[in-house]
């Protein structure tokens, strides 16, 4: 009887581990987000989007709007909580696109795009308000304790539409 019970408990434990591992191996079905048509994003622009966890829809963030807590260093609107995904869609001057994660590579706090901020020759920077970490428009770390550049989501252009896969993340280069 004891062996049967231990065998059953072992099978249940292995099944639970299998289910957890499957969540890491197979991405969520709804991981791809269509952010808009290519022509909606002019060269040299940054457009930020917020996807709350568990939501099917997303919304465009207003200029200097931050998801998460305020540290008092950036004036702007704050959305309560930090659950969810922020995508900073960058269209570089050459017309190419980047999709940066909106989380700091230091402590995972949300970063905001500040287009009017000039920092060491960089016009416009991403900044994490609590520790003043800064990244250039291309995601390169330019200041602060962050150990690496911003992480990037996979992005593709399909039929003139910009599509980002939030489950396909490339870690930023260490600096």
CATH number for the domain harbouring residue 86: 2.102.10.10
What is the C-alpha separation between 86 and 76, in angstroms, rounded?
16
- Please check whether residue 154 lies inside any domain of the structure: yes
Adjacency order of strands within the sheet including 122-128: 112-119, 122-128, 133-135, 141-143
Q: 149 or 65: which carries more pLDDT confidence? A: 149
Number of domains in the chain: 1
- Please check whether residue 4 lies inside any domain of the structure: no
pTM score, two decimals? 0.75
Residue 91, judged by CB atoms within 10 A of its CB (0-12, 13-18, 19+), counts as buried
Confidence grade of residue 153 (pLDDT, cut at 50, 70, 90): very high
Strand, helix or coil at 39? helix
Number of neighbouring beta carbons within 10 Å of residue 34: 11
Partner residues linked to 66 by β-bridges? 78
Confidence grade of residue 53 (pLDDT, cut at 50, 70, 90): confident
Query: Given this model, what pLDDT does residue 82 score?
Result: 52
Domain that holds residue 121: 30-170
- Please check whether residue 7 lies inside any domain of the structure: no
- Please check whether residue 18 lies inside any domain of the structure: no
Confidence grade of residue 22 (pLDDT, cut at 50, 70, 90): very low
Reported as a single tens digit per residue, the pLDDT across 96-119 is: 999 999 999 998 888 999 999 888
Question: Residue 128: which of 173, 82, 84, 96 has the closest Cα?
Answer: 82
Instruction: Tell me the two tokens of residue 10.
Output: 């072992």
- Please check whether residue 22 lies inside any domain of the structure: no
Confidence grade of residue 29 (pLDDT, cut at 50, 70, 90): very low
Lowest mean pLDDT among 17-21, 59-63, 93-97: 17-21
- Please check whether residue 67 lies inside any domain of the structure: yes
- Please check whether residue 6 lies inside any domain of the structure: no
DSSP code, position 147: -
- Please check whether residue 23 lies inside any domain of the structure: no
């Amino acid at each position: 009887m004891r062996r049967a019970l231990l065998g059953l408990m072992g099978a249940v434990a292995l099944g639970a581990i299998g289910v957890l591992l499957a969540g890491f191996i197979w991405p969520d079905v709804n991981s791809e987000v269509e952010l808009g048509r290519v022509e909606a994003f002019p060269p040299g622009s940054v457009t930020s989007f917020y996807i709350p966890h568990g939501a099917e829809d997303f919304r465009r963030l207003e200029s200097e709007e931050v998801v998460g807590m305020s540290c008092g260093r950036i004036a702007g609107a704050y959305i309560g909580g930090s659950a969810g995904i922020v995508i900073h869609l960058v269209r570089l001057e050459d017309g190419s696109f980047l999709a940066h994660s909106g989380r700091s590579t230091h402590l995972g706090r949300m970063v905001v795009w500040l287009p009017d901020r000039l920092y060491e020759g960089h016009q416009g920077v991403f900044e994490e308000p609590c520790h003043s970490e800064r990244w250039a428009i291309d995601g390169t770390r330019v200041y602060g304790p962050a150990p690496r550049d911003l992480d990037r989501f996979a992005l593709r252009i399909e039929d003139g539409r910009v599509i980002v896969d939030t489950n396909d993340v490339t870690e930023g280069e260490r600096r």
